[in-house]
């Protein structure tokens, strides 16, 4: 009797682990674009990570390091003493975003934008920060004013694409990514965004081809490869997905990711779950 109860508990616990992993994967698939769109290659506007959102985290994380608490506090004190310093406001907002204090970052950048309505760097950071907290329509409006047709910024175009994808405008998003690629051909961040956009539009073969191209670029990192693994898994190519994951994860971690992919794809409502997670991401608390 006790043995039967123990065995049943093990089964229930296993089902709960798979359910939680599948839920994380569904949410990740829906919001991966947002982080990707706000990322640059190590620059001052970097936020989030591509791969860190694409797959459940079973082991070591991939992505930029987190800023120290003392540094955030020090920047906050400097900002309080001189909130008109644009460069300081941008650094402080970046630190707040890096420590997941996103509503506070929005407040700092909103004030900076009000004081500097024609400063493209401020508007770009403010638009991305609005997207961080799910205020996508506002983000789209701000980002369109963060650069000009005569002097387009590929990072802003990429962020505009990410926001358009979150609003369900996949064709428009892909147009932004293609425009960005004309400025920096072969840029893996943009190619990864484009691949994820195809994924959200359920154009999985195109998503795979684009992400393979992205992962083959010299600047591609683990986050790009994890997005490729996600799209491979969504097509049922689990062996390929695990092989890609093994480039950056241990065999055990790669196998765990593959197991979650299989559990997710096997659900009859997997795409419905992605859309539901996308809707929830649009309803985040306003900053």
Q: Is 212 exposed, middle or buried (0-12, 13-18, 19+ CB in 10 A)?
A: middle
Q: Is residue 153 pLDDT above 90, yes or no?
A: yes
* Weakest mean pLDDT among 25-39, 41-55, 92-106, 171-185: 41-55
Residue 275 has pLDDT above 80, yes or no: no
From residue 145, alpha-carbon distances to 110, 122, 178, 287 in Å are 14, 11, 19, 20
Predicted confidence at residue 287, as pLDDT, reads 34
pLDDT of residue 142: 97
Total domains present in the chain: 1
CATH code for position 58:
1.25.40.10
Residue 167's CB is within 10 A of a number of other CB atoms, namely 16
Q: Please report which confidence band the pLDDT of residue 55 belongs to, taking 50, 70 and 90 as the band edges.
A: very low
pLDDT band at 277 (very low <50, low <70, confident <90, very high): low
pLDDT at 238: 95
Lowest-confidence region among 59-63, 74-78, 112-116:
59-63
Average pLDDT for the chain: 80
pLDDT score of 269 more than 90:
no
Quote the pLDDT of residue 210: 98
Q: Which of 175, 90, 71 is nearest to 128 (CA)?
A: 90
Q: Give the range of the structural domain holding residue 204, as residue numbers without chain letter.
A: 2-62+147-281
Assigned token pair, 210: 């684009």
pLDDT in tens, 60-74: 344 444 578 889 999
In a domain, 31, yes or no: yes
Mean pLDDT of 228-244: 94
pLDDT in tens, 160-204: 999 999 999 999 999 999 999 999 999 999 999 999 999 999 999
Answer yes or no: is 67 within a domain. Answer: no
Q: Do 102 and 287 meet the contact criterion of CB atoms below 8 Å apart?
A: yes
In the predicted model, what is the mean pLDDT of residues 264-280? Answer: 68
Whole-number pLDDT of residue 7:
54
C-alpha 110/C-alpha 256 separation (Å) is 42
Strand-pairing partners, residue 251, are none
- With beta carbons less than 8 A apart as the criterion, state whether 167 and 137 touch: yes
The predicted pLDDT at position 26 comes to 46
| 20, pLDDT greater than 60 | no
Residue 214 placed within a domain = yes
Structure tokens at 198: 């195809």
Position 132 pLDDT exceeds 80: yes
Nearest of 68, 78, 126, 119 to residue 98 by alpha carbon: 68
**Residue located via tokens 């960005």:** 180
**Nearest to 109, CA basis, from 77, 143, 81, 137:** 143
Q: Is residue 155 part of a domain?
A: yes
Residue 37: per-residue pLDDT: 43
pLDDT at 104 > cutoff 90: yes
How far the first Cα of the chain sits from its last, in Å, is 53
- Residue 205 within a domain: yes
Burial of 184 (0-12, 13-18, 19+ CB in 10 A): middle
DSSP code at position 175: H
Whole-model pTM?
0.77
Rounded to whole angstroms, the Cα distance separating 30 from 283 reads 13
Task: Name the 3-class secondary structure at 139.
Answer: helix
Within a domain: residue 122? no
Do 220 and 214 meet the contact criterion of CB atoms below 8 Å apart?
A: yes
Note the pLDDT of residue 263.
Answer: 86
Pick from 121, 123, 113, 102: nearest CA to 48: 102
At 279 the pLDDT is 52
Asked if residue 158 belongs to a domain, the reply is: yes
Q: Is the pLDDT of residue 120 over 80?
A: yes
Whole-number pLDDT of residue 44: 29
Query: Is pLDDT at 213 greater than 90 in this prediction?
Result: yes
Residue 134 lies in a domain: no
Biggest distance spanned by C-alpha atoms of the chain: 76
Please tell me which residue, 10 or 86, carries the higher pLDDT value: 86
Average of per-residue pLDDT across 80-107: 95
Residue 91: what pLDDT?
96
Measure the CA–CA gap between 111 and 104, rounded to whole angstroms. 11
């Amino acid at each position: 009797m006790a043995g039967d109860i123990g065995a049943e508990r093990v089964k229930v616990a296993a089902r709960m682990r798979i359910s939680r992993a599948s839920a994380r994967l569904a949410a990740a698939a829906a919001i991966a674009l947002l982080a990707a769109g706000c990322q640059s290659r190590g620059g001052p506007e970097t936020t989030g990570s591509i791969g860190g959102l694409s797959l459940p985290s079973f082991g070591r994380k991939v992505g930029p390091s987190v800023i120290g608490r003392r540094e955030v506090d020090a920047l906050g004190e400097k900002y309080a003493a001189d909130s008109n310093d644009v460069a300081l406001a941008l650094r402080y907002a970046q630190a707040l975003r890096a420590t997941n204090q996103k509503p506070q970052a929005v407040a700092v950048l909103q004030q900076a934008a009000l004081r500097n309505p024609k400063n493209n760097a401020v508007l770009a950071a403010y638009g991305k920060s609005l997207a961080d907290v799910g205020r996508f329509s506002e983000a789209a409006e701000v980002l369109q004013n963060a650069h000009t047709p005569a002097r387009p910024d590929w990072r802003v175009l990429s962020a505009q694409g990410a926001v358009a994808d979150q609003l369900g405008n996949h064709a428009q998003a892909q147009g932004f990514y293609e425009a960005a690629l004309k400025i920096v051909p072969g840029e893996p961040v943009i190619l990864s965004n484009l691949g994820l956009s195809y994924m959200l539009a359920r154009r999985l073969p195109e998503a795979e081809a684009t992400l393979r191209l992205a992962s083959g670029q010299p600047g591609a990192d683990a986050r790009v490869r994890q997005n490729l693994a996600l799209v491979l898994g969504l097509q049922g190519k689990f062996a390929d997905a695990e092989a890609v994951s093994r480039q950056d994860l241990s065999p055990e971690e790669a196998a765990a990711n593959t197991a979650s992919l299989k559990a997710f794809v096997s659900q009859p409502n997997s795409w419905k779950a992605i859309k539901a997670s996308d809707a929830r991401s649009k309803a985040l608390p306003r900053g």
